[in-house]
Amino acid sequence: MTEQKTITAVAFEPGNGLGELPLNFQMLPFPKTWKALFGDLQREVAPNRNGYAAVPIWSLNSALRALAPDLVTINKWAAGYKAEHWLVAKRPSHTEALFLIVRAWMDAEFQRAATASREKVLGAIQADDLVWQDEVVDIAKAGKPPNGTGDPHPLT
């Protein structure tokens, strides 16, 4: 008989009176230059938004959840102009691999954009734009979203 293996969701629930619990994380911001470039592509494929273009990062984040297993959390608002960090990990993922996922996402998400527009963006983005940063996050002070688990994003 073979052993069954399952994936189980795990959550950290900070308790009251925890004090301090500083943990080292790697943080990766969504590059600011990318926000404008992908915003331009979004305006091209969805022009009826009065000039506003929210980058459809949810589909990229979904791909990363499936393909980058070392991520602790992903900021769903990372493509917004005020967001500080996008990816949080205990150890950095290879930026070249992440970049390939971003390129594949761009090809799928913006396939209706003009070829010249897509090529312009591809020429402007590169793996070197993705830079991991060391940060210490005090998990005891983490935000507590509706599901009750610790959320390091309000601290970053």
pLDDT in tens, 91-103: 998 999 999 999 9
Q: What is the mean pLDDT of residues 101-116?
A: 95
Query: Is it the case that residue 143 has pLDDT exceeding 80?
Result: no
Checking 41-44 for CB contacts under 8 A at 24+ apart, the result is 41/106, 41/110, 41/113, 41/117, 41/118, 41/121, 42/110, 44/110, 44/112, 44/113, 44/114, 44/117
Task: Quote the tokens at residue 102.
Answer: 């971003």
Hey, where are the domains in the chain? Answer: 28-155
Which is more confidently placed, 77 or 122? 122
Query: Is it the case that residue 156 has pLDDT exceeding 50?
Result: no
In this predicted structure, what is the pLDDT of residue 5?
76
Q: What is the pTM of this model?
A: 0.78
128: pLDDT confidence band, cut at 50, 70 and 90? Answer: very high
- For 8, 55, 70, 96, the CA distances from 129, given in Å and listed in that order, are 33, 17, 20, 10
In this predicted structure, what is the pLDDT of residue 69?
81
In this predicted structure, what is the pLDDT of residue 127?
97
Across the chain, where does the E strand assignment appear? 22-28, 71-74, 87-89, 133-138
129: pLDDT confidence band, cut at 50, 70 and 90? Answer: very high
Which is more confidently placed, 120 or 147? 120
In this predicted structure, what is the pLDDT of residue 146?
72
